[in-house]
C-alpha cells in the first residue's frame, strides 16, 4: 500500500511573510494572541468580487458567469460574489439555499441558478424544480423521467440542459472529463436518443446542452477554442435534432497558478471569445469556481512543535488534512509563508528549524497528513504561524473534518 503525499517542494523556498497581505497578517496575529492555537481560514470577499468583475467585464454580452458554489460555500463569500456574477452553479439543496438567499429570483423570472451533479436524488431534483432554476443539467435518461414527473405533479415545466460527454475535446487541463468512460453526462453516441426522450416528456423544456470536459486550464487560447467548440457543437446538434437552443453551458475549467505558472490571461480570453458567433437568443454559461475564489483565502495553522528525525525536520501544525486536504488530494506543491510570533513562555524550550528543508505535517495519526514537503525555510519555531495562500477554493469544504475528532478550522471573513 502506497502513502499519498504531495510532491516534494525541493528546491523551492517558502514564501516570504510579506506574500501574505498586511491586513491578513494582522488578523492572524490577533488570533494568535487570543490564547487558543490558531487553525483558521481567512477570507477576503473583496478579492473574490474583484476576480468576478474582471471576468465578467472581459466577456461578451452573450456570456453569463455562474459561480460554482462547491469551490467555497462560506456564506460571506457567496454574498460577496452575488452582485458581480449572473448566478450560481449548485449541486445540492444546501448550495441551492445559499444561492437563492444571496440572489433571489426576480419576479416572473427563473432563479439565477444552474444545477449539476451525476447522481441527483429525487429530493434534490424536487427542490430544483420547485425553485424554478434556469437549468437543471440532466445526466441520464432516468433523471429526465424524474424531472418530468416532478414538474408535472407540480403543474409546471422544468428547464433542462442535457449534459453531454463528447467523444473528443480540443482542450488540455489537469482534469479531463470528456471523451472517456465517465459517470458524468450522456455519452455522445447516446445523445440522439436522450434528446428525443427529453422532447417527448411533457414536464421538460429542453433549453440546450451542458459540456464540462476539462479543468484547471491556464491557457486562454485553448480555453477559447474549447468555448468555441462547445458552442458550435451545440448549435449543430440542436439543428440536427430540432432543439430550440437557448442555453449552452461550457462548465468551468479556468485554472489557477498554484505553483508559480503563468496566470490565466482573462483579457485575452475575452478577446478570443468575442470572435465566437453566438446567435441572438442563445446564452453561453460559464461556471468558474476555483478561479474566482482561490486567492481570496488563506489557511493559517499554528506550529505546535518542530521536530528533527534522522536528518529531516518537521513542523507539526494545529491542523492538517482534516482542515486542508487539497495539497495531498490534488498532487500539488502548495507553498507556505511563516509568520513569526514572538510571545513564548520563558520557562519552556522553543524548538526551531533554521536555514534547512522542512516538511509541514498535521495533527492526525497518519503519515498521509502532510501538507508540504522539503521546502527550504529561513526559520520556523514552535508557536509561529504557517499560512498557506491560495486556500480560498476547495479548502474547508474539501477537508476530512471528522477524522480523529479534532476541532474544525474556524472561518473568518475579513
Domains, the chain:
17-44+295-413 (2.40.37.10), 45-293 (3.20.20.10)
Task: State pLDDT tens for residues 53-92.
Answer: 999 999 999 999 999 999 999 999 999 999 999 999 999 9
Grid coordinates of 294: 482561490
Q: Which of 230, 296, 348, 365 is catalytic?
A: 365
Report whether pLDDT(28) > 70: yes
Cβ 42 vs Cβ 27: under 8 Å: yes
Average pLDDT, the chain: 94
Phi, psi of 69 (to 5 degrees): -60, -25
- The pTM of the full predicted model, rounded to 2 decimals, is 0.95
Q: How far apart are CA 169 and CA 321, in angstroms?
A: 33
Coil, strand or helix at 357: strand
Grid coordinates of 348: 519552556
Report whether pLDDT(13) > 70: yes
Residue 154: cis peptide before it, omega within 30 degrees of 0: no
What's the confidence (pLDDT) of residue 195? 98
Cβ 249 vs Cβ 212: under 8 Å: yes
Interaxial angle between packed helices 122-131 and 93-102, expressed in degrees from 0 to 180 and rounded to the nearest 10 = 20
What's the confidence (pLDDT) of residue 56? 97
Residue 348 among the catalytic residues: no
Band the pLDDT of 12: cuts 50, 70, 90: very high
- HSE-up (13 A, CA, CB side) for residue 254: 31
What's the confidence (pLDDT) of residue 177? 54
Task: State pLDDT tens for residues 107-144.
Answer: 999 999 999 999 999 999 999 999 999 999 999 999 99
Cβ 368 vs Cβ 375: under 8 Å: no
Report whether pLDDT(213) > 80: no
Q: Residue 231: name the closest of 274, 189, 265 by CA.
A: 274
Band the pLDDT of 178: cuts 50, 70, 90: low
Report whether pLDDT(152) > 80: yes
Cβ 251 vs Cβ 287: under 8 Å: yes
Q: Residue 231: name the closest of 271, 167, 282, 192 by CA.
A: 282
What's the confidence (pLDDT) of residue 278? 98
What's the confidence (pLDDT) of residue 2? 59
What's the confidence (pLDDT) of residue 175? 43
Task: State pLDDT tens for residues 257-279.
Answer: 988 789 999 999 999 999 999 99
Q: How far apart are CA 323 and CA 402, in angstroms?
A: 10
312 class by beta-carbon count within 10 Å (0-12 exposed, 13-18 middle, 19+ buried) = middle
What's the confidence (pLDDT) of residue 329? 84
Task: State pLDDT tens for residues 362-372.
Answer: 999 999 999 99
For a pLDDT cut of 90, what percent of the chain falls above it?
Answer: 86
Query: β-strand 247-249 against 283-286: which pairing, if any?
Result: parallel
Task: State pLDDT tens for residues 311-354.
Answer: 999 999 999 999 999 988 888 899 999 999 999 999 999 999 99
Q: How far apart are CA 25 and CA 34, in angstroms?
A: 15
Higher model confidence: residue 23 or residue 1?
A: 23
Residue 193, H or E segment: helix 191-200
What's the confidence (pLDDT) of residue 185? 87
Q: How far apart are CA 63 and CA 92, in angstroms?
A: 24
Amino acid at each position: 500500500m502506497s502513502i499519498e503525499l504531495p510532491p516534494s517542494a525541493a528546491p523551492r523556498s517558502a514564501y516570504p511573510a510579506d506574500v501574505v497581505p498586511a491586513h491578513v497578517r494582522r488578523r492572524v496575529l490577533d488570533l494568535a494572541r487570543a490564547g487558543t492555537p490558531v487553525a483558521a481560514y481567512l477570507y477576503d470577499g473583496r478579492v473574490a468580487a474583484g476576480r468576478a468583475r474582471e471576468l465578467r467585464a472581459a466577456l461578451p454580452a452573450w456570456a453569463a458567469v455562474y459561480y460554482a458554489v462547491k469551490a467555497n460555500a462560506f456564506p460571506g463569500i457567496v454574498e460577496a460574489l452575488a452582485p458581480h456574477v449572473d448566478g450560481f452553479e449548485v449541486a445540492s439543496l444546501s448550495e441551492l439555499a445559499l444561492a437563492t438567499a444571496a440572489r433571489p429570483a426576480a419576479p416572473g423570472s427563473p432563479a439565477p441558478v444552474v444545477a449539476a451533479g451525476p447522481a441527483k436524488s429525487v429530493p434534490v431534483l424536487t427542490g430544483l424544480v420547485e425553485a424554478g432554476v434556469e437549468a437543471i443539467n440532466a445526466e441520464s435518461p432516468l433523471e429526465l423521467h424524474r424531472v418530468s414527473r416532478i414538474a408535472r405533479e407540480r403543474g409546471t415545466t422544468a428547464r433542462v440542459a442535457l449534459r453531454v460527454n463528447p467523444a473528443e475535446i480540443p482542450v488540455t487541463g489537469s482534469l479531463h472529463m470528456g471523451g472517456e468512460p465517465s459517470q458524468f453526462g450522456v455519452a455522445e453516441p447516446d445523445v440522439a436518443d436522450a434528446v428525443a426522450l427529453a422532447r417527448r416528456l411533457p414536464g421538460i423544456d429542453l433549453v440546450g446542452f451542458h459540456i464540462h470536459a476539462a479543468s484547471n486550464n491556464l491557457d486562454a487560447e485553448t480555453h477559447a477554442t474549447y468555448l468555441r467548440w462547445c458552442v458550435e457543437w451545440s448549435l449543430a446538434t440542436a439543428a440536427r435534432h430540432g432543439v430550440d437552443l437557448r442555453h449552452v453551458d461550457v462548465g468551468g475549467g479556468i485554472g489557477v497558478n498554484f505553483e508559480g505558472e503563468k496566470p490565466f490571461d482573462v483579457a485575452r480570453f475575452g478577446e478570443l471569445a468575442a470572435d465566437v458567433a453566438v446567435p441572438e437568443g442563445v446564452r453561453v454559461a460559464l461556471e468558474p469556481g476555483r478561479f474566482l475564489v482561490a486567492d481570496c483565502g488563506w489557511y493559517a495553522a499554528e506550529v505546535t512543535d518542530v521536530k528533527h528525525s534522522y536528518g529531516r525536520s518537521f513542523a507539526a501544525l494545529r491542523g492538517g488534512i482534516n482542515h486542508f486536504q487539497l495539497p495531498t488530494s490534488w498532487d500539488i506543491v502548495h507553498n507556505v509563508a511563516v509568520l513569526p510570533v514572538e510571545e513564548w513562555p520563558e520557562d519552556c524550550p522553543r524548538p526551531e528549524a533554521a536555514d534547512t528543508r522542512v516538511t509541514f505535517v498535521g495533527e492526525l495519526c497518519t503519515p498521509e497528513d502532510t501538507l508540504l514537503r522539503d521546502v527550504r525555510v529561513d526559520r520556523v519555531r514552535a508557536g509561529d504561524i504557517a499560512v498557506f495562500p491560495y486556500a480560498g477554493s476547495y479548502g474547508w469544504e474539501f477537508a476530512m473534518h471528522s477524522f480523529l475528532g479534532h476541532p474544525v478550522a474556524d472561518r473568518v471573513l475579513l
